[in-house]
Amino acid sequence: MMLNLSRIHFPVTTLGPGNRIGIWFQGCSIRCKGCISVDTWGMKKGSVSVDEIISVIDPWLDMADGITISGGEPFDQPEVSNWIDVAEITGNTVSRNYLAGLIVNELLSQLNIYQHQGSSPFLDVWRQYNVMQGKEIMVHVNNDMIVGVFHDISEQGELILQCGNGKLKYFQCGEVSVRTKN
């Protein structure tokens, strides 16, 4: 797969938590008024392969807290439709705005539940999809790194880590970064 790339930077500290790898795609057909990335609107002729992008970001992966994909409009990449094609999956043409509206509506109804009942109605579902549950993880807090087993999330949203001595440690800090150990 070939992609039109604008630029890649590391570290990026303003587009998500921690030190991130930022990947900006080139090309945007949306043309928002006041866009600060007008230089990414035009689709360049040159393109790079996914393997080339991976080789650039590979040396940073161990140090990075995450990857931010930006642009331009990543979904304007000609070959992106080959890997995310809602129309093919559903058999219907799906309007982007209609889909965005459905998602926003669903979020609003969930936020309403959260406002009145807190996080408890969501925790069981969340646990089903938590790939780190019961796994050994590393928690970075400021300059410290703590190893333990991902025990759970509390009703207050705290990360609960089971430490080597069996004691549970609770993390509330917004700057916590979690990684699987292997």
User: Among residues 72 and 148, whose Cβ is nearest to ligand SF4?
Assistant: 72
Give the chain as a DSSP string. -EE-EEEEEEEE-SSSSSSEEEEEES--SS--TT-S-GGGSSPPS--EEHHHHHHHHGGGTTT-SEEEEESS-GGGSTTGGGT--HHHHHSS---HHHHHHHHHHHHHHHHHHHHHHTTHHHHHHHHHH-TTTTSEEEEEETTEEEEEEEEEE-TT--EEEE-TTS-EEEE--TT-EEEE--
Binding string, 60-89, against ligand SF4, x = CB under 6 A?
Answer: -----------xxx----------------
Binding string, 18-57, against ligand SF4, x = CB under 6 A?
Answer: ----------x-xxx--x-x--x-----------------
User: Among residues 78 and 134, whose Cβ is nearest to ligand SF4?
Assistant: 78
Binding string, 148-177, against ligand SF4, x = CB under 6 A?
Answer: ------------------------------
Q: How far is the CB of 10 from ligand SF4 (least distance, A)?
A: 20
User: Among residues 30 and 163, whose Cβ is nearest to ligand SF4?
Assistant: 30
Residues 6+ apart with CB under 8 A from 71: 6, 24, 25, 26, 27, 28, 37, 40
Interaction between residue 94 and ligand SF4 (CB under 6 A):
no
Q: How far is the CB of 79 from ligand SF4 (least distance, A)?
A: 18
The residues of the shown chain that bind ligand SF4, judged by CB under 6 A, are 28, 30-32, 35, 37, 40, 71-73
